Amino acid sequence: MIGGLTMTFLGRFFGLVMFAALFASTNAAQNAFPYKDQPLVKSFEKRALEYEKTRRKLESGLPRVSKQATPEELTAFKLSLQKAIQANRSSSRQGEFFTPPIAERIRQMVKAEFKGWEASELRTKVLEAETKGVPVKVNFPYPDSKELVDMPPTLLLSLPQLPKPLRYRFIGRNLVILDRDNALIIDYMPNALP
């Protein structure tokens, strides 16, 4: 009996230790920026969280959509949310999230992380995507008819974290932040790819 309890305790203990180690390594890999750049990263992430908070407030002011909503109702909700955010952010300009200091650090990080064939492969994937004609402007919707380029997982782990409603995407060599639910371009960084 005691041996079984000891084994159960040890099993749980080692399980917790492994979970803590995994959690610590995941947090450590959240971005590839050195310690001295962490205030820039935290400031960027804070701006993203403020956007999410404002977005939730705007969304709560819209009529609710039921779980049985029709595609037309979902489209109407998406457009209503899009218009509310555009009106709220009518004075927003490029660089609100990607301030010059964080943009420069991201460019350096991308250049350092993607060298040789990896850089060539990433550049080819991004530049061959069907994104020509997509307006790279803050507060403009990303067209449904255009391809969305998936971000390489290693790059996503290296970039500052975004809250759930936001996604990084490439449009040509530009790195953009998209609102996933209404496809608005929230901010962009020109020449993100070397």
Say whether pLDDT at 114 is over 90.
no
> pLDDT digits over 121-165, tens only?
777 777 777 777 788 999 999 988 888 877 888 888 889 999 999
| Confidence tier at 93 by pLDDT (50, 70, 90) | very high
Angle between helices 71-88 and 38-60 (to 10 degrees): 120
In this model, does residue 14 exceed pLDDT 50?
no
Structural Rg of the chain based on CA atoms: 21
What one-character DSSP code corresponds to residue 57? H
Pairing type for strands 174-179 and 166-171 reads antiparallel
* C-alpha span between 33 and 36 (Å, rounded): 8
DSSP class of 62? S
pTM confidence score = 0.77
Separation between Cα atoms, residue 90 and residue 95, nearest integer Å: 14
Q: What is the DSSP letter of 177?
A: E
pLDDT tier, 117 (very low <50, low <70, confident <90, very high otherwise): low
